[in-house]
Amino acid sequence: MSQGNHHEAIARSASQRRADELRRVPEALRPLLQSIPERPRLLLITILSDPVIDTPVPFERRRGMALGMIYMAGKRDELTPPEVSTLVGYVLDLPA
Q: How far is CA 9 from CA 6, 58, 82, in A?
A: 5, 30, 39
pLDDT digits (tens, 9 = 90+) for 54-94: 667 788 888 899 999 999 999 999 999 999 999 999 999 88
Domain boundaries, the chain: 3-93
Q: Which pLDDT does position 22 carry in this prediction?
A: 86
Predicted pLDDT at 50? 64
Instruction: Answer yes or no: pTM beyond 0.85.
Output: no
Which has more pLDDT, 88 or 4?
88
Closest C-alpha among 37, 45, 86 to residue 65: 45
pLDDT tens-place string over residues 12-58 = 888 888 888 888 888 999 999 888 998 888 888 888 886 656 667 78
- Establish how many alpha carbons lie within 13 A of residue 44's alpha carbon, considering only the half-sphere containing its beta carbon: 26
| pLDDT for 77 | 94
